[in-house]
Structure 1
Amino acid sequence: MPDGRTGIMAGMHALLSAFAPIWILTGIGYAVARSGLLGAQAEAVLGRFVFHVAMPAALFTMVSGSHPSAFAHPSMVAFAAATALVSALGFVVARRFFGRGRADAAISSMASGYVNSANLGIPVAVQVLGDASFVAQVILFQVLLVSPVILTLLDSGTRPGGGAAGERPGGGLRRMLTMPVRNPIIMASLLGLAVSVTGLRLPAALTHSCDLLGAAAVPTALVTLGMSLHGGPAAATGRVAGRAEVGAAVALKTLAQPLIAYAVAGPLLHLPDHQVLAVVLCSALPTAQNAFIYAREYGLDTGLARNGVVASTVVSMVTLSFATWALGPNR
């Protein structure tokens, strides 16, 4: 019994240590906005910096040094199935029950199923699982497969005319085909994948520069998120998300996704206990701040993404702790 209690306490300490930077950087962003230190346009400028510069650099570095063959692992099948199902549910709920358009529903889908795998998933995995190898696969899955789908829905849902009759024939197809060139997130991921597949060795100066830029992505995104909490308008266009809409997304993210992941990994695929724990733990991670950055960049309601990130981060402290207690080796 003492050993089990010690393991639980160690897991809780690991969770608190992982969550602390999120709250601190978000709080700094709030304080900066409240003081007016960076001016009225700081939030918008920092958001564009993350989307167009820092995040692409981070993704390029990450993908170029990866091995996409890791997707074949059975654990990834369980995680991908839970992510796909919950993301689809988030999209349908936003469309059917809250009357959202395609682009806003894509943000709801992201808030429901896109996990904070990098700055939160890695430290949690290292402390609870002992290594972050599965989290690395999750990151690649989201970058190479989930993000392009979300960005395609955002692009098609916010294009001029929204596909109306006034749009020239073939315009939608042309925008879809040229989106990798126009979207820095997808372009950086594709370039990184090309480098990974070909085994190309890049100059050290280039990789170091990308490392430096990429390191700014997460902290800047969290500071930007914190700035958005200070009284500014939650939406650039359209209506603001209500509590019921945010609650639905958070419930899907923190409850439905890990439960589905457990059902697929355990009863369906009969994976070993440590793999089931890894799948459930990663599925129980809160919504990534990328959802807020994407919503801001596309001029959509940022209230759902912003509040979803904050609320799911709070709730996930409970769900992650429960998953560790229920499925961990000290149970």
Structure 2
Amino acid sequence: MQTTMQMILDALLPVILITALGLGLARINLVTGEQWRGIERLAYFILFPAIIVETVARADFSEIPALGLGAALIGAILIVTVALLAVQPLLAARFKVSGPAFTSIYQGVARWNSFIALALIGEMIGATGLALLAVAMIAMIPMLNVLSVLILSRYAGGSAPTLKRIGLDLVRNPFIVSTLLGLALNLLGNPLPAPVMDSVHQIGLASLPIGILCVGASLDLSALRRPGAALLIGTFARLLVMPALVAGLCHLIGVTGDALLAGVIATAVPSASASYLLAAQMGGDHRLMAEILTVQTVVAILTIPLCLAVLV
């Protein structure tokens, strides 16, 4: 367990430190508010899509239980989505959770930080783990982005979305487009010239630090001293409920070994930094989203080893 803990700390501590740097940069006004908005848009439309395209395009899907792992991950997402939608009226009535705040709870619970997962799986499983993580990306990223866009359209927009609005939101979503592009390149044997893919790789390298800097810059530490129901649900449902659901579904389907480990890691890591960017772009409660991401990242230092010890 000491080795596992060291791997987890190696992956999570840089995220915590970069978040703190973003907070510090914002507090001293080295980067102003409007400049942060421009950086957020750069990460949202260019940097994160680049790493998605590269990872999916270069993945080797041979000799791994792709269907079983994908089914378990999709099943967990659907269960969590239905459960959260069912309790949304209670959250609004009992805990005064607004529509935009509910969208941050949803993204906090359902989405995942693939970069932290990449670091952990790469250390613990190796090349096979990276292929398994690509399966997780293909299974989860399109569905999570579609569901997140729909829920943001409905609960942050103040009214039920029309079919036209839903279509426009999905067509304009760079994460959906980049996943589909990466899958197409994979199926075609990745025909792009090496310099092009190397450029995509270099662009994608900037996505994690810049995305996390934006999270830190938006953080209101005073709110963390008064954690409410939204923050607690968004934190612990993500870090404990999601991996337990995936582990149960994996055992039910017959997914074991490295694939089970990959599934648990993919759902035990904090939510995606891109959740904050999506919330900021579509009218969600981006401050609550930033708080959820920060608390999750700190608490995950304890919950990830717990999940691996109990569920794998």
What TM-score do the two structures reach when normalised by structure 2?
Answer: 0.84
Identify the residue that residue 108 of structure 2 maps to in structure 1: 111
Identify the residue that residue 224 of structure 1 maps to in structure 2: 214
The number of residues matched between the two structures is 305
| Structure 1 residue 124 corresponds to structure 2 residue 108 | no
- Offset of 1:10 from its aligned partner? 1.0
Pair 1:64–1:278, CA change in 2 (3 A): closer
For 1:1-331, list aligned pairs within 5 A: 8-66=1-59, 72-98=66-92, 104-117=101-114, 119-130=115-126, 131-155=129-153, 157=155, 162-163=159-160, 172-199=162-189, 201-230=191-220, 243-266=228-251, 268-326=252-310
CA distance in 1, matches of 2:144, 2:61: 14
Identify the residue that residue 3 of structure 1 maps to in structure 2: none
- CA deviations over 1:80-121 (Å, ceiling 9, x no partner): 22232123323433443126566653432221121212x211
Contact between 2:73 and 2:140, CA under 8 Å: does it hold in 1?
no
CA distance in 2, matches of 1:272, 1:188: 30
Contact between 1:106 and 1:154, CA under 8 Å: does it hold in 2?
yes
**Which structure has the bigger radius of gyration?**
1
Q: Which of 100-109 and 71-80 deviates more?
A: 100-109
CA distance in 2, matches of 1:15, 1:233: 27
- Offset of 1:218 from its aligned partner? 1.2
Unpaired segments ≥5 residues, structure 1: 1-7, 164-170, 235-240
Q: CA RMSD in A?
A: 3.0
Contact between 1:34 and 1:230, CA under 8 Å: does it hold in 2?
no
- Offset of 1:287 from its aligned partner? 1.4
- CA deviations over 1:219-254 (Å, ceiling 9, x no partner): 1110001111257999xxxxxx96111111212111
Contact between 2:103 and 2:156, CA under 8 Å: does it hold in 1?
no
The list of structure 1 runs, each at least 4 consecutive aligned residues, that deviate by more than 6 angstroms after superposition, is 67-71, 231-234
CA distance in 1, matches of 2:275, 2:36: 15
- Offset of 1:128 from its aligned partner? 3.0
SS at match of 2:120: helix
- Offset of 1:30 from its aligned partner? 1.0
Contact between 1:156 and 1:172, CA under 8 Å: does it hold in 2?
no
Identify the residue that residue 4 of structure 1 maps to in structure 2: none
* Structure (1 or 2) with the greater helix fraction: 2
Pair 1:258–1:304, CA change in 2 (3 A): same
Give the % identical residues.
22
- Offset of 1:191 from its aligned partner? 2.9
CA distance in 1, matches of 2:153, 2:55: 24
Pair 1:25–1:271, CA change in 2 (3 A): same
- CA deviations over 1:237-286 (Å, ceiling 9, x no partner): xxxx96111111212111111222222222x2343344433322322112
What TM-score do the two structures reach when normalised by structure 1?
Answer: 0.80
CA distance in 2, matches of 1:298, 1:26: 22
Unpaired segments ≥5 residues, structure 2: none
Pair 1:173–1:201, CA change in 2 (3 A): same
